[in-house]
Amino acid sequence: MVVVGAYARVETAAAVEVRARLAAVGGVSTFDLDEPGKVGLLIEAASVAAAHARLCGELAEVPGVLGVWPVFVGAETEADAETPAAEEA
Amino acid sequence: MGATRRDFIKGAAAAAVVAVAGRRLPAQGVAPEDAARWVKSVCRFCGTGCGVLLAVKDGRIAMLRGDPEHPTTKGLVCAKALFLPKVVHSPDRLTHPLVRKNGQLERASWEEAMELLAGRFAEAIERHGPDSVAFYGSGQALSEESYLASRLFKGGIGTNNVEGNPRLCMASAVGGYVTTFGKDEPMGCYEDIDHARVFFLVGSNAAECHPVIFDRIIARKQGRRDVLVIALDPRKSPIQTNVDLHLDPLPGQDLAVLHAMAQVIVGEKRHDLRFIERNVQFKATRDGQTVAVSFEEYVEFLSQYTPERAQMTTGVKAEKIVEAARLFALGPTMSLWTMGLNQRTRGVWANNLVHNLHLITGQIGKPGATSFSLTGQPNACGGVRDTGALCGNLPYGRVVTDAAHRAEMEKLWSAEPGTIPDKPGLDTMELFKALGEDRIRAMLILTTNPGQSLPNVEPYRRAMGGARPDKPFVAVIDAFPTRTTELADLVLPAAMWSEKSGVFGMSERRYQYMPQVLAPPGEARADLDVLLDFAARLERRGAVKEGFIAGRFQNADDVWEEMREASRGTAYDFRGMTRARLMKERGIRWPAPTEQHPGTARRYVKGEDPLLDEGPYADNSLADGEVKFYAAPEQRAVVWLRPALGPAEPPDAGYPFVLSTGRVLEHWHTGTMTMRAEELRRAYPEAFVEVHPVDAMKLGVRTGDRVKIESRRGAAVIKAWVTERPRPGSVFVPFHWQDEDSLINRVTIDACDPISKQPEYKICAVRLEKV
């Protein structure tokens, strides 16, 4: 299992709705940050590649998301880190 | 156990997000109260210059976080910075000198290593003259290191063969600023982001390469419908989600787009005639000579670049060009660019044309209106550009071809008159060619990795390391083993970030002090100490005048004092930046001529730039807010009539694709540092090539397939990522990976801009084959 810490910049006017949409993405939990237009994200995935795909694909494409910035990647085991994304699909 | 470890990782991940994105809670992981002390410092990756705080405990950096009191980056840092402590404490560090014996690098003492270094340089100078030796430095070296190296080689040895890797990334920006405004470096600042309504991003993937700056752009845009982002870039990079208008020209055809925007602006009378009349002149090159032309001639010149004509040659729809031009003129407009504009055979001209747009619209010198080149390295500006550590330059805007400038520096340096040659030395690509032809007999490479980063790298790798009789001597000072140290005759282990002290100067002219908080590992030494030792040994051998450096400087503080003095009377004047101020304050932007001056947000603007108040550039006839380009000829910036020429190697039947190279968020340059942080390495463990789905279908390539990318110079074999990011007909490869298959610079072209001598990494012709 891989954990990615990230934050999203979101449309301020729709921040509550956007946060709910982000939280609805599988393996994603959200938390508050100081600025109303920022949402903290924890992404859990089976591999780094899968987490990355979620970050750059599903999350970045959520309506109202202006940008997603990964700031931390951690893997439970070396094997998790090396699992190709294709195998997970 | 699994759940416990996962919880720990989740906690660390949340702490990292909080540290970067802001939440007024103590960071988790290593609690601040556990740290012995927190020290302010600066990140050493890109040119953003993020302020950081370091928790130092038991001789190690326990934690890094963004500095919330930093005036421009305000606590933000990117993923790379967070892992700097891991990089510094990596077990892969070089810890003792290595000397090549019988083809192998073997451990040596510092005494043996330094005697070898000085001996080989002195021998080359004696037998072949001063121009047989060279220094190749870096935008990652500290300012004091680059200044001292340039002083030693130009004023001591008497050669202008002083170069650095900013030649590969920033030289066209330098050429653009110098030819348009008379002196290098941007006039604006990061605060302009908070005032701009139009952002014009040209060849810049700021989302990955300058993420903290891009975050500030998004913050400006957030919730405001009147703030728009225009991108001019063949590739849909990750900035795309925030782009309102994307102009996607065929690679290398953007000059025509920029002219077409200007044509719309003057055609629709959206130019600022009053600003033009007061501050601008027009020039063209005819029969190899620069000639003055009129505004009317400029308008006539632009008539060949209507949006409709530009559409035919560039592929950008005319209506998009018109819309971009109108928005640009509306402003306040801030242009930002990086390598997409610079790493081109027409890089200087492309820079000129961006400046042109600002000058004809008057979108310059006002809050939010500026023409701003972003820097890729932490100290390309303050270290190499400003100190004059390139083959044609001397400190603080002086050039070697100017007798008065040479005389000023010879006097300050106490060098014999006539020591500094009156012609530029060899530029970077010429330098490595000369090394391969054995015309350069000894080269010192500091804090950079040309064995991976030079374009068309293979012949230059042979130049550095190819076995041959009487091979030239190559010495490398670095913190890690690299694709360059493997070629060297001598490898010296360097102290790195936080293990030495000195100044970084970043994109907005802000100089910041990095303190030493750690002892270097093993026998590693600060680069400045090595240079001082080297100079002393050259003096003892008679290759440099006795006392030229030895005895004058004990440490970086001494060098900084001379640097301040060297800035006196120049357009860079930073005499007010004392060491004590820099240690206390969070950076100061030059000009800052007195210790009381707070630093300058916007150059060339009365009321902000102190050089317009006092000294050789003073003009008290100006009202506050008025602009005067005092460094330019006749104190007027130049709008250039440059023809819209294309790249050196366009695609053809044999090589039908365009290759462009660049970066990803998690890695930096040749990966020497970021690949040492496991989390960053895992994020992108191997290279990839972006292929458009249309091309992928034709080639029968799917994501994950291995693809051979071959040019007239060499080949790489890299996994494909099928994505709509590149244009059809173009592919993109980041250049971070150093394994044999992924060394993409075997493929790139070493054709250079004739003015800036910067290579065209962004465009070369290749063919693709699934393997």
Q: In angstroms, rounded to a whole number, what is the distance separating the alpha carbons of residues B358 and B370?
A: 7
Compare CB distances from B223 to A7, A12, A48 and report the shortest one's residue: A12
Residues 6 or more apart whose CB falls under 8 angstroms from that of B495 comprise B479, B520, B524, B525, B526, B527
Q: In angstroms, rounded to a whole number, what is the distance separating the alpha carbons of residues B382 and B378?
A: 8
Same domain, B310 and B394: no
Same domain, B31 and B135: no
Measured between CB atoms, does B13 come within 8 Å of chain A?
A: yes
Return the CATH number at B761: 2.40.40.20
Angle at B412 (CA atoms; ends B565, B393), nearest 5 degrees: 85
Residue B50 lies in a domain: yes
Give the other-Cβ count within 10 Å of B694's Cβ. 13
Q: Which of B373, B397, B428 is the last residue of a domain?
A: B373
Distance from CA of A84 to the nearest CA of B (A): 10
Compare CB distances from A72 to B23, B82, B221 and report the shortest one's residue: B82
First vs last Cα of chain B: how many Å apart?
A: 43
Tens of pLDDT, residue by residue over B317-363, are 999 999 999 999 999 999 999 999 999 999 999 999 999 999 999 99
Residues in B closer than 8 angstroms to A30, CB to CB, are none
Same domain, B285 and B406: no
Tens of pLDDT, residue by residue over B392-414, are 999 999 999 999 999 999 999 99
- Is A71 within 8 Å of B704 when comparing Cβ atoms? no
Residues in A closer than 8 angstroms to B24, CB to CB, are 34
Same domain, B334 and B421: no
- Is B12 within 8 Å of A74 when comparing Cβ atoms? yes
Sort strands B442-446 and B490-493 into parallel, antiparallel or unpaired.
unpaired
The pLDDT assigned to A51 comes to 81
Tally of domains within chain B: 4
Residue B594 lies in a domain: no
- Is A73 within 8 Å of B207 when comparing Cβ atoms? no
Catalytic residue from among B40, B80, B221, B283:
B80
Residues in B closer than 8 angstroms to A37, CB to CB, are 219, 222-223
For B417-423, the CB contacts below 8 A with 24+ separation are B419/B154, B419/B155, B419/B156, B419/B158, B420/B154, B420/B155, B420/B158, B420/B160, B420/B394, B421/B130, B421/B131, B421/B154, B421/B158, B421/B159, B421/B160, B423/B160
Residue B618 lies in a domain: no
Compare CB distances from A86 to B6, B218, B704 and report the shortest one's residue: B704
User: Which structural domain range is residue B682 located in?
Assistant: 657-770
Q: Which residue of B has its CA nearest to A60?
A: B241
The pLDDT assigned to B32 comes to 45
Strand order in the sheet with B289-293: B289-293, B280-286, B637-641
Q: 3-state DSSP call for residue B444?
A: strand
Q: Which helix H or strand E contains A68, and what residues bound it?
A: strand A65-75
**Catalytic residue status for B169:** yes
Assess contact for A81 and A47: CB atoms under 8 A: yes
Distance from CA of A25 to the nearest CA of B (A): 17
- Tell me which residues of chain B, numbers 61 to 90, contact chain A at a CB-CB cutoff of 8 Å: 78-79, 82
The pLDDT assigned to B68 comes to 86
Tell me yes or no: is domain A2-78 CATH 3.30.70.920.
Answer: yes
| In chain A, domain spans | 2-78
Distance from CA of B485 to the nearest CA of A (A): 29
Using CA atoms of B523, B524, B530, B536 in order, give the dihedral in degrees to the nearest 10.
Answer: -10
- Is A11 within 8 Å of B14 when comparing Cβ atoms? no
Q: In angstroms, rounded to a whole number, what is the distance separating the alpha carbons of residues B95 and B81?
A: 23
Compare CB distances from B16 to A5, A32, A56 and report the shortest one's residue: A5
Compare CB distances from B22 to A11, A33, A84 and report the shortest one's residue: A33
Q: Which residue of A has its CA nearest to B65?
A: A71
Instruction: Identify which of A61-70, A80-89, B29-38, B164-173 has the greatest average pLDDT.
Output: B164-173
Same domain, B489 and B549: yes
**Catalytic residue status for B170:** yes
Task: Tell me the sheet residues that pair with B39.
Answer: B54
Sort strands A38-45 and A28-32 into parallel, antiparallel or unpaired.
antiparallel
Q: Which residue of A has its CA nearest to B721?
A: A53
Residue at B748: amino acid letter: T
Distance from CA of B550 to the nearest CA of A (A): 45
Q: 3-state DSSP call for residue B638?
A: strand
Return the CATH number at B263: 3.40.228.10
Q: Which of A7, A68, A72, A88 to mutate to test the interface with B (most CBs of B within 10 A)?
A: A72
Q: Which residue of B has its CA nearest to A79?
A: B682
Residues in A closer than 8 angstroms to B14, CB to CB, are 5, 31, 40, 42
How many residues are listed for chain B in this entry? 771
Helices (H), B599-737: 678-683, 693-699
Q: Could you tell me which residues of chain A have a Cβ less than 8 Å from any Cβ in chain B? A: 1, 3-7, 9, 11-13, 31-35, 37-38, 40-42, 44, 48, 52, 56, 60, 65-67, 69-76, 81-82, 84, 86
Q: Which of B1, B7, B222 to mutate to test the interface with A (most CBs of A within 10 A)?
A: B222
- Is A72 within 8 Å of B221 when comparing Cβ atoms? no
Q: Which residue of A has its CA nearest to B241?
A: A66
Catalytic residue from among B156, B362, B376, B662:
B376
Q: In angstroms, rounded to a whole number, what is the distance separating the alpha carbons of residues B402 and A11?
A: 54
- Is A66 within 8 Å of B24 when comparing Cβ atoms? no
Measured between CB atoms, does B665 come within 8 Å of chain A?
A: yes
Beta strands in B120-267 (DSSP E): 133-137, 162-164, 198-202, 228-232, 245-247
Helices (H), B653-736: 678-683, 693-699
Distance from CA of B29 to the nearest CA of A (A): 13
Q: In angstroms, rounded to a whole number, what is the distance separating the alpha carbons of residues B362 and B280?
A: 10
ipTM exceeding cut-off 0.95 for this assembly: no
Residue B643 lies in a domain: no
Q: 3-state DSSP call for residue B741?
A: coil
Return the CATH number at B558: 3.40.50.740
Catalytic residue from among B169, B187, B464, B673:
B169
Same domain, B501 and B529: yes
Assess contact for B82 and B20: CB atoms under 8 A: yes
Distance from CA of A47 to the nearest CA of B (A): 10
Residue B397 lies in a domain: yes
- Is A52 within 8 Å of B14 when comparing Cβ atoms? no
- Is B23 within 8 Å of A72 when comparing Cβ atoms? no
pLDDT category at A79 given cuts 50, 70, 90 is low
For the record, the structure tokens of B286 come out as 């005819």
Strand order in the sheet with B104-107: B104-107, B98-101, B490-493, B473-478, B442-446, B133-137, B162-164
The pLDDT assigned to B684 comes to 82
The pLDDT assigned to B4 comes to 62
Which residues in B239-256 are b (16+ Cβ under 10 Å) and which e?
A: bbbbbebbbbbbbbbbbb
- Is B665 within 8 Å of A76 when comparing Cβ atoms? no
Residue at B555: amino acid letter: N
Assess contact for B562 and B582: CB atoms under 8 A: no
pLDDT category at A86 given cuts 50, 70, 90 is very low
Tell me the helices (H) and strands (E) count for chain B, helix number first: 25, 29
Q: Which of A69, A77, A87 to mutate to test the interface with B (most CBs of B within 10 A)?
A: A69
Residues in B closer than 8 angstroms to A59, CB to CB, are none
Q: Which residue of A has its CA nearest to B679?
A: A73
Q: Which residue of B has its CA nearest to A53?
A: B683
Q: Percent of chain A beyond pLDDT 90?
A: 29
Same domain, B245 and B137: no
Residue B605 lies in a domain: no
Angle at B389 (CA atoms; ends B385, B392), nearest 5 degrees: 90
Assess contact for B279 and B285: CB atoms under 8 A: no
Task: Tell me the sheet residues that pair with B323.
Answer: none
Compare CB distances from B14 to A38, A40, A44 and report the shortest one's residue: A40
The pLDDT assigned to A22 comes to 94
Measured between CB atoms, does B242 come within 8 Å of chain A?
A: yes
Q: In angstroms, rounded to a whole number, what is the distance separating the alpha carbons of residues B642 and B255?
A: 9
- Is B14 within 8 Å of A5 when comparing Cβ atoms? yes
**Mean pLDDT within A38-54:** 85
Catalytic residue from among B339, B391, B443, B764:
B339
Q: 3-state DSSP call for residue B451?
A: helix
Distance from CA of A17 to the nearest CA of B (A): 15
Same domain, B362 and B431: no
Q: Which of B357, B373, B389 is the last residue of a domain?
A: B373
The pLDDT assigned to B22 comes to 65
Which residues in B152-172 are b (16+ Cβ under 10 Å) and which e?
A: bbbbbbbbbbbbbbbbbbbbb
Q: Does residue A84 have a pLDDT over 50?
A: no
Distance from CA of A24 to the nearest CA of B (A): 18
Same domain, B163 and B179: no
Alpha carbon distances (Å) from B729 to B234, B246, B478, B693 = 11, 18, 39, 10
Q: 3-state DSSP call for residue B230?
A: strand
Alpha carbon distances (Å) from B711 to B329, B341, B648 = 41, 22, 13
Prediction pTM value: 0.93
Residues 6 or more apart whose CB falls under 8 angstroms from that of B767 comprise B654, B655, B656, B657, B709, B710, B711
Q: Which of B77, B107, B138 is the last residue of a domain?
A: B77
Same domain, B306 and B393: no
Residue B626 lies in a domain: no
Beta strands in B27-94 (DSSP E): 37-42, 51-57, 60-66
Q: 3-state DSSP call for residue B766?
A: strand
- Is A56 within 8 Å of B238 when comparing Cβ atoms? yes
Rg of chain B over Cα atoms, rounded to whole angstroms, equals 25
Same domain, B450 and B302: no
List chain B residues with pLDDT less than 70.
1-5, 22-36
Q: In angstroms, rounded to a whole number, what is the distance separating the alpha carbons of residues B31 and B654?
A: 60
Name the residue among B651, B576, B570 with its Cα closest to residue B617: B570
pLDDT category at A69 given cuts 50, 70, 90 is confident
The pLDDT assigned to B31 comes to 45
Same domain, B176 and B315: yes
Name the residue among B414, B530, B465, B435 with its Cα closest to residue B97: B530
